[in-house]
Structure 1
């Protein structure tokens, strides 16, 4: 029998509609697809496919789009910025986690940070067997993680480490890095990022 926490997690597992939110944000700024494409250095065809939910944007594409639109990542993941009062302002309820896919390799993410713009963000990343993470953003700040289930290969600046369930890591974000699921089973990692205000993703 499933417990209450498991039921709540499943109820919150609906995939986030990034496409319609991108379209709403673009139109609110009176930009055509071609204008946004030029400003963000993303092809008009790619933006059109994202808005129609025909393809999943990579992390880098989301970053380029949100910088032009001047919004935090959460603007693509939620209908509106929720501003609950009291302690709820600092909480992300299990059933309210945005779920979204990135790239074409089946990688899925669950946002754990509360709604809004933050200097530290964290999420759960689901990596299918044999899949390497999409291009990672490099910049200021630090990144860290904890392997929740499965095994992963962590690649940082040309060095590699095999990680087992329960292993953790931390490094400077400017170092080239990647994570690879070298096994035939799914893997999940808690991914934590400390980023400066101008680089929130």
Structure 2
């Protein structure tokens, strides 16, 4: 049995530095591509920063890699138990994410998160790697993807290309949901390759914006 005990801050520090060095990026260049201050990046790599949802998703977008490659240590097999009270919370403007599990199946990688949306604010994303799937468990969730808006209730599902700009809003009170992020397995292997922000966008798992 595995038990999640690694610090999100510590794992991000280790994985971020590895990914940046593998791509041959300086802190200054990664700062430019991610729009995160160089001092903030330095603190994150030192394990002294305070990562937010916005920060982690910006790094995922800039480095073109799954969130779990930044936040998690690879599991070694067996049973994994993650207690809700012990899962570290990644906070954003309106959303709290609890990373639960990374699942690799064939050529597909899934990341499973417990997602809670707080009322009164909007969680915006400029877009990031992967396909995003959300299943509402309780509450009313407003979702906007590339200008198209929809409201979801308990049991409703939405899926979309996460590269498109999108946002979540709790319409009337807090929202509890399950978030699944889906990637091609080879996106992880790309971490060892030089980063080309202007590279091909062809992706059989993604629709266009």
TM-score bucket of the superposed structures, by smaller chain: 0.5 to 0.7
TM-score for the superposition, normalised by structure 1: 0.65
Structure-2 change in CA distance of 1:23 and 1:173 (3 Å): closer
Number of equivalences: 173
Which among 20, 45, 48 is matched to residue 52 of structure 1?
48
Would you say 1:62 and 2:59 are equivalent positions? yes
Would you say 1:37 and 2:27 are equivalent positions? yes
Higher relative helix content: 1
Which structure 1 segments of 5+ residues have no match?
1-10
Give 1:123 deviation, angstroms. Answer: 1.5
Which structure 2 segments of 5+ residues have no match?
189-209
Map of 1:145 onto structure 2 = 134
How far apart, in 1, do the equivalents of 2:148 and 2:19 lie? 44
Map of 1:171 onto structure 2 = 160
Map of 2:82 onto structure 1 = 94
Q: Given that residues 131 and 182 in structure 1 are in contact (C-alpha distance below 8 angstroms), is that contact kept between their aligned partners in structure 2?
A: no
Structure-2 change in CA distance of 1:150 and 1:136 (3 Å): farther
Q: Given that residues 82 and 115 in structure 1 are in contact (C-alpha distance below 8 angstroms), is that contact kept between their aligned partners in structure 2?
A: no
How far apart, in 2, do the equivalents of 1:147 and 1:30 lie? 35
Which aligned pairs between 1:149-164 and structure 2 lie closer than 5 A? Answer: 149-164=138-153
Which aligned pairs between 1:15-34 and structure 2 lie closer than 5 A? Answer: 17-25=7-15
How far apart, in 2, do the equivalents of 1:72 and 1:144 lie? 14
Q: What CA RMSD, in Å, does the superposition of the two structures yield over aligned residues?
A: 3.7
Q: Given that residues 112 and 181 in structure 2 are in contact (C-alpha distance below 8 angstroms), is that contact kept between their aligned partners in structure 1?
A: yes
Can you list the C-alpha shifts for 1:128-155, whole angstroms capped at 9, x where unaligned?
112222415245x532221011111111
Structure-2 change in CA distance of 1:187 and 1:36 (3 Å): farther
Which among 62, 67, 75 is matched to residue 82 of structure 1?
75
Q: Given that residues 61 and 128 in structure 2 are in contact (C-alpha distance below 8 angstroms), is that contact kept between their aligned partners in structure 1?
A: no
TM-score for the superposition, normalised by structure 2: 0.62
Structure-2 change in CA distance of 1:56 and 1:142 (3 Å): closer
Which among 60, 67, 71 is matched to residue 73 of structure 1?
67
